[in-house]
Structures are given as structure tokens and as C-alpha cells.
Amino acid sequence: MKGILFYFSGTGNTRWAADNFKSKLEKMGVSIELHNMESEAEYNLSAYDFFILGTPVHAEIPPKNVHDFVNKLPHSDSAMRVMLFSTQGAEGAACLDIIREVLVKKGYNVTNQVFIQMVNNYWFFAGKKPSMELFKKRKLQAERKIQRAAEDFYNNKNYRDKVGFGRVVFSKLMQRTFYRSLPKMSTSITSSSDCHKCGECLRNCPKGNITFENGHALFHGNCIMCMRCIHICPVNAVRYKGRKIEQTQSEMIKNLDLK
């Protein structure tokens, strides 16, 4: 079998999971190509037997760029088989059910749907700072779940993690409001005088949302709140509501192909 794995990863969790899925499926003799949703590289979906889509979760829903990517996927005339997985700080979210509904309408056969709980990279907004012990625990649990999910998919065993119907309905109602609020939310991100214009945040912003003006990084209204800029800054100069944030994603960021 030959498949393609589409992913978006703001701070490394989803890319780490994507690499794990690829490794485990290849050990079973399955050929997997990774495709970053940020990439402009073309692909021919008809050249594959199936696809996998991995995404982080932003406030129960798909990140705005993942939403746009899914809606641009072509219709399937062959009921192509699909597995979805999400990485999030909570045990689950409505995100995958929202994506699944779009894909089913396009003719895809979404057979497997997997929640992968990781540490919360947005803890400074909601929750508490994750400890190293929790990080190790979540990572080990995630590896085990990915192994089971890969085996299920390979053996044509359908499996679907899901949340309550009401939670999905509410999240869908809030989705448009959340996306519309992103420009205003992005005004909470600023840079401090510590910024020395290395350009790492500018080069690696998935939406090209950052410029340098008046001697420091300036963040505009096309932000999707992926938190990458906060966690990759080599001098930790990016602020959220004026607050300096401890970079708890330093190990997971290493999984990204930074420029």
C-alpha cells in the first residue's frame, strides 16, 4: 500500500506524531509520504491508496489553515480510505468530527479517527504549566496509542475516538466566530526589546504574518495562534499579553523543519 500523510504542526507535537505514524506503518511494509500543509508543493491524490491527516486542535476546532486545506481537497470518486488524528492537551476534542463531516461530504471513507493527548502548549492561557514528568508520561502514552492506531488501520479495523454530539454542534457554531476573532486575538502577541532581529519567527511563521519594523518583530492580523513564534524564539523575546512565556515546547520544536 502507498499513502500520503498530510499534517500541520505549530510547535512540533503533530509533526512528532506524524513521524511516528510513518515509522510504524513503514515497518509493516506500507509506503508513506509526509506532506506539510504549509508547503506549496503539488501532490496527486489519485497516486495513493489512502491518506492520513494530522492536526493540532485550537479551541476544540481545526486551526484555520487546516480548515482551509480540508475544504480545498478534491472530491473522491473512489471512496478513498482516510485516517484522522489530532494532538491536543485535553483527552479529546470536536476537531476531528468537524473535519470528518467535510470529508464524508466529499466522498471519502473516514474509517479511523484517533485522539492523541499531548502536553498543552497553550497552558499560559488556560491550564497550568506542564511538568517534565507529565511530558514524558504523555509522550509514552502517545507512542503506544499511535502503535495501536497504525495496526488497526493496517489491519482494516475501523476505530473512532469521538466526543458527544452536543459538543460537536456547539464547536461548529463557535467555529466561524473563533476564526473571525483571530485578527483581534493576534494583537496579544508582541516582541520585547530582547528581539535582535534574527528572523527565525519571520521565516517560520506558517502564515507569513511577521515583519520587522522599528527595530523589532511586528505581528499582523493573519495570525492563526499556533504559538510557534513564542516557542522557537532563540532569545524568548515573543510576549503574550506582555507576559514572558517559558518555552515548554523546546524538545518538540526540534521535530519541525525550521528554516
Residue 242 pLDDT class (50, 70, 90 cuts): very high
Q: Check residue 214 and give its pLDDT.
A: 79
Kindly report, residue by residue over 169-211, the tens digit of the pLDDT: 999 999 999 999 999 988 999 999 999 889 999 999 999 999 9
- Residue identified by cell 513564542 is 230
> What whole-number distance in Å separates Cα of residue 231 and Cα of residue 24?
28
Please say if the pLDDT value at position 215 is more than 80.
no
Taking residues 231-239, report their average pLDDT: 95
Kindly report, residue by residue over 97-125, the tens digit of the pLDDT: 999 999 999 999 999 999 999 998 888 88
Q: Would you state the torsion angle of the CA atoms of residues 129, 134, 136, 138, taken in this order, to the nearest 10 degrees?
A: -100
> What whole-number distance in Å separates Cα of residue 9 and Cα of residue 83?
17
pTM equals 0.95
Q: Check residue 123 and give its pLDDT.
A: 86
Cell numbers given for 3: 499513502
Kindly report, residue by residue over 29-65, the tens digit of the pLDDT: 999 999 999 998 899 999 999 999 999 999 999 999 9
> What whole-number distance in Å separates Cα of residue 34 and Cα of residue 32?
7
2-7 and 31-36 strand pairing: parallel
Kindly report, residue by residue over 225-234, the tens digit of the pLDDT: 999 999 999 9
Q: Spell out the domains of the chain, with CATH numbers in brackets.
A: 2-170 (3.40.50.360), 183-253 (3.30.70.20)
Q: Check residue 156 and give its pLDDT.
A: 97
